[in-house]
Amino acid sequence: MHLLKNLKITWNGVDFYSSAIHYLVRKKQSMKIISWNVNGIRAVAKKDFFKDLEKMSPEILCLQETKAQEDQVAEVLAHIDHYEVYSNSAVKKGYSGTAILSKTKPLSVHRDMGIAEHDNEGRVLCLEYESFFLVNVYVPNSGNDLLRLGYRQSWDLDFFTYLKSLEKEKPVLVCGDFNVAHKDIDLARPKPNYNKSAGYMQEEIDGMDRFTQGGFVDIFRHFHPEKKDAYSWWSYRAGAREKNVGWRIDYFLVSAAFLPSVSNASILNEVMGSDHCPIGVDLVFNAK
């Protein structure tokens, strides 16, 4: 709102001045945050990624599985205006990786958890803002043969401990690909997959229980507790996406104390380009 002069407006017998109205309008600040496993930032950039970004128009975009080194991420996103770009890459080239695009410059940027066992795959990227920490995560997959299931259990515990340490300073909003469907409602075919498939093993479910029972709220389920057929990942096989035979394995979790600042949660399943679709939340809080 641009004010040329301080106009007096009378409403219901009370005089208001435009400067005061401007203050009231500006008092509440809104922020849209999108999370998306893009399954390769260089691959998705060759599709409709930039058009989708313009259409979604988030304040912050969190990306997982960039499959690129930090200089490669910067090169792909170099021509995007109005966003600061931060990334964390794996030691192994073309593998894992996370990135965040933010219109608001954060107070600080932190990569990894500070645990040598976990800090070589670029899976954690944390930006500190005035009111909260934003953590972007790409949780390890247990693998088709469940060879990393034991490692996955130690990761889940260490990541939970990491989030709780951040929470001692200010609320935490964490988003990304958690590689687990939490409940039966979160995948199309729970019975054939339970305790047989990576992403729906009891050990992985227990890890998600630790988050939701330990002070973090699954925002989508908070707003849509009974919504079925709401998925964020589909296999490329057998036309799974067209048939909506999917899994909800991408999440926004938030510190319970910060939940009143969250006004909505969505799954943007119309956006293509990856085997995952974007998910989003809207924040509304008092501006400083």
Q: Measured between alpha carbons, how far is 189 from 210 in angstroms, rounded to an integer?
A: 23
Q: What percent of the chain has pLDDT over 90?
A: 88
Tokens of 77: 């996103």
Class of domain 27-286: alpha beta
Q: Measured between alpha carbons, how far is 263 from 219 in angstroms, rounded to an integer?
A: 10
When pLDDT is averaged across residues 151-159 and rounded to a whole number, the result is 98
Residue 1 pLDDT exceeds 50: no
Per-residue model confidence as pLDDT tens digits over 232-287: 999 999 999 999 999 999 999 999 999 999 999 999 999 999 999 999 999 997 75
Q: Can you give the residue ranges of every domain in the chain?
A: 27-286
Q: In which band, very low, low, confident or very high, does the pLDDT at 14 lie, cut at 50, 70 and 90?
A: very low
pLDDT at 27: 58
Q: In which band, very low, low, confident or very high, does the pLDDT at 96 lie, cut at 50, 70 and 90?
A: very high
pLDDT at 288: 58
Q: Measured between alpha carbons, how far is 58 from 32 in angstroms, rounded to an integer?
A: 5
Please say whether the dihedral angle defined by the alpha carbons of residues 82, 88, 91 and 93, taken in this order, is positive or negative: negative
Residue type, 134: L
Residue 28 pLDDT exceeds 80: no
Q: Is 177 annotated in the active site?
A: yes
pLDDT at 20: 43
Candidates 138, 200, 231, 251; catalytic one:
138
pLDDT at 18: 45
Residue 211 pLDDT exceeds 50: yes
Candidates 156, 177, 218, 250; catalytic one:
177
pLDDT at 285: 75
Per-residue model confidence as pLDDT tens digits over 177-209: 999 999 999 999 999 999 999 999 999 999 999
Enumerate the H helices of the chain as residue ranges.
18-27, 41-45, 49-56, 70-76, 149-167, 190-193, 202-213, 219-223, 240-243
Residue 125 burial class via C-beta count within 10 angstroms: exposed 0-12, middle 13-18, buried 19 and up: buried
Q: Is 138 annotated in the active site?
A: yes
